[in-house]
Chains A and B, each alone.
Chain A
Amino acid sequence: MKSAHRKAIIGKIIVYILLIVIAAIMITPFLWMFSAAIKSDREVFKMNPFVFIPEVPKWSNYVDIWTKIPFAKFVENTFFLTIVVTILQLVTSSFAAYSFSKLEFRHRNGLFLAYIATIAMPWQVYMVPQFILMRKMGLNDKLLAIICLQAFSAFGVFLMKQFYEGIPNDLCEAARIDGMSEYKIYSTIMLPLSKPALATLIIFTFVNTWNDYLGPLIYLKTQEKKTIQLGLKMFISQYSSDYGLIMAGSMLSLIPVLIVFLCFQNYFVEGVASTGLKG
C-alpha cells in the first residue's frame, strides 16, 4: 500500500514537471516579446546577464510605433472589418442554419449539399478566380472585398446547424401551434438558446478575420486600406532591425484577440470540442 502511495506521488511530480516545462515552452515567446518590446535595440539580444525588465524600460517603443507607420489607421481598418464580418457572419449563418435544421421545404437537401460540397475545398484553390470576379465587380482595393470574402462561410452555417439540431423540435412546434411566425420563433426562442454556439462563432470569426494575412494581401493595395497584419509585416520588412519597435507593434496586435479569447474561452473550448467530434 505504501509503495503504491509513493508511486502515485512520484507520478504526480512527473506530471507537474512536464506541465511546467510545456507551459514554459508555450509562454516563453510571449514573455520574450513583452520584454523585448521595452528594450533598446542593443539590449534585445543581450544574454549575460539576461534582464527581463531593463533598468530603463523603453516604453516609448509603444508610442513610436504609432508615428513610424499609420498604425492607428491599420487598427481602425482591422476593427471595422472584424466587427462587420463577425456581425454579418452571425446573422446570416444563424438565419440559414435555422431554416436548414427546423423548417421543411422543397430543395432543402439540394441546397445544403452545395454547402457540404465546399467544406473540403480550401479557399486557396479558388482565391484566384474569386479575385478576378471581385475585380470585375469593382471591389479590388476596397475593404468591402474582405467583408464579402469572410462573411458568408459554409463553416458558420455548419456550426450553427449542428447546435440547432440539439434543440428539441417540440419547442418550435409548440410555438407554431400557438401561431407564432417563423421569424418570431427564431428571434425569441432559438436565438437566446444558442448563446454558446454564437459565442464560439464570434471567436472563430473574430480571430480569423483579425489574423488573416493572405486575403488582405491580395485585395488591399493602398496604404490607408491595410490591416494590422499587413501593416506589421510591412513595418518588419522596412525596419528589420528595429527589434524593440517590432515587438511593441506585435504586442499591440495581440491585445484585442487576447481580450476576446479570454472573455469567451470556455465557450470556445466547448465549440472546438463539438466541431471536432462531429466534423
Chain B
Amino acid sequence: MTSTDTAPLAASNLQLIVLKGFNRKQVTAFAVPAVILLYLTYVFFAFDIYGIAARARLDNAAILVSDFWSHKTHVTRDNRINEVTVAIEGENKGTYPEGMLPDWVTMVDGVTRIDLDKGHEVIFDADGARYMVPGYGVVDISPQAGKLSLVLPDGGVPDWINASDTRVAVTTEQGRFSYTRNRTEVFKYQAGWELFFFTLDSPFYGKSFVELVQLATIGERIDPARSNISAMADGFWTNAMWRHGDVAWALFETVLMAFLGTMGAAMIAFPLAFFAATNFTPSRPILFTLRRIFDFLRGVDGLIWTIILSRAFGPGPMTGALAILLTDTGTFGKTFSEALENIDAKQVEGVQSTGASRMQQARFGVIPQVTPVFLSQVLYYFESNTRSATVIGAIVGGGIGLLLTQAISTQKDWEEVSYYIILIVLMVMAMDTLSGWLRSRLIGRTGHP
C-alpha cells in the first residue's frame, strides 16, 4: 500500500482544500451582503424613494384614517335661494328629508343653528354666517357688495382661518366651515358609520337596538303587509348608502370565481396529468406536448389570460373563473404529474400481483396515494385564488374587486373602502379556515404542499 507514502502529501492537500474553502466562505460572507447592499442602493435611486417621501400626501392619509372610523354630515346653505340642506357625506341618498333634522341642527324663521359640540356653534341667517369658537370669539362673515366682509375678534387672521375676498374657510377640531358667495357649508364629524343599518327614509332609522328588538318581536306592524322583521331585513339588504345586498353578491361572486376556476382546473388537469407523467404516459410525444402546453398556460399568466378572455366573454365572474381555470390547469398539470412520478411503486406492484388490470392498478394502487397530495394542493390554491379573484375581479369587472376599485377611484367614500377591506379580509380568513378544516377532514393533518 502506498497510503503511508502519500499521507503527508494528502494531508497538505487537504489543508490546502480546507483553507481554500475557508477563503471562499469568507469572500462570500462579505460579497453577498455587499451585493445586496449595492442592489438596494440602486433600487433606492431607481424607485426614487427620496422623492416619494417628499411627495407623500399625508393629508390624504389623514382623510383615510378619519373616514375609517367616522363620518361627516354636510349642512349646506345655498345662498342664492336661501335653502339649507343637511346631508350625510353630502350624498343625495343621505339627505335628510323635509321636516327631519338631526338633533344638533335647528331651523327657526330662516335662522339655522348648528351645534358642533364643546361650545362650537355656527349660525346661518340672511345676513351671513357666524361661527362661535370658544376661547377665541366670533368669526363673523357677511356678504357686502359682492365681497365677503370678515370680522374677527382681534385684527390678525390665525392660521386655521383661510380668508380671501371670495372665500373664507375655518378648520377646527370640531369641524370644517366654509363660506363663499354661493354657499355656506359646515362639516360635522361624528364617530361611526352613519346609516349603516337603515337609511333616513326607513321607519327603523335612529331606533336603538332595544327598540328594534321590541319592534321585531312584539311591536305593532309598521307596514301591515309584512312583519317588521322582514321589513327590517329588506331595509338593511337594500340600504341605498351601503348596498349590503350588492356587496354580499360581490363577495359571493369572488368566491365563485375562485371555486369554479380552481375546481375546473383540477378536473381538467387530473386526467391529463397521467399522460404527462413519465411512468404512466402511453407515448413520449404526448408527454412532451402536454408538458409544453402546461408550461405555456402557466407562462402566459393570469393577467394576460384575463385580458384576452375579457375581450371574448365581456365583464363578469365567468371571465374571471376561466382566467383562473386556464392558469391553474397549467399549474395543476405540472404538480399533479410530478406527484404521480413520485409515487411508491410497491403499492402498484402489490395490486398487480393480485391480477388487477391496468385500470384497477390505477384505481387501487395509485389514486389512494396521490389523492391526499392532490386535495391538499387544490384546497391550497382555492384559498389563494380567493385573493387572486379580488384582483382579477378588478380587471374583469366582477366581484368585490370591482366595488373596491370603484370606491377607491372616487376618492371620497373611504368608509366604504374600509368596509370592503374588512369584508375582503374576513372572506379570505373564512376561506383559509374552511380549506384548513376540509383538509384536516379529508386527508388528516399534513403540511402545505
Q: Do A and B bind each other?
A: no
Write the residues of chain B forming the contact surface with A, with a CB cutoff of 8 angstroms: none
Which residues from chain A sit less than 8 Å from chain B, CB to CB?
none
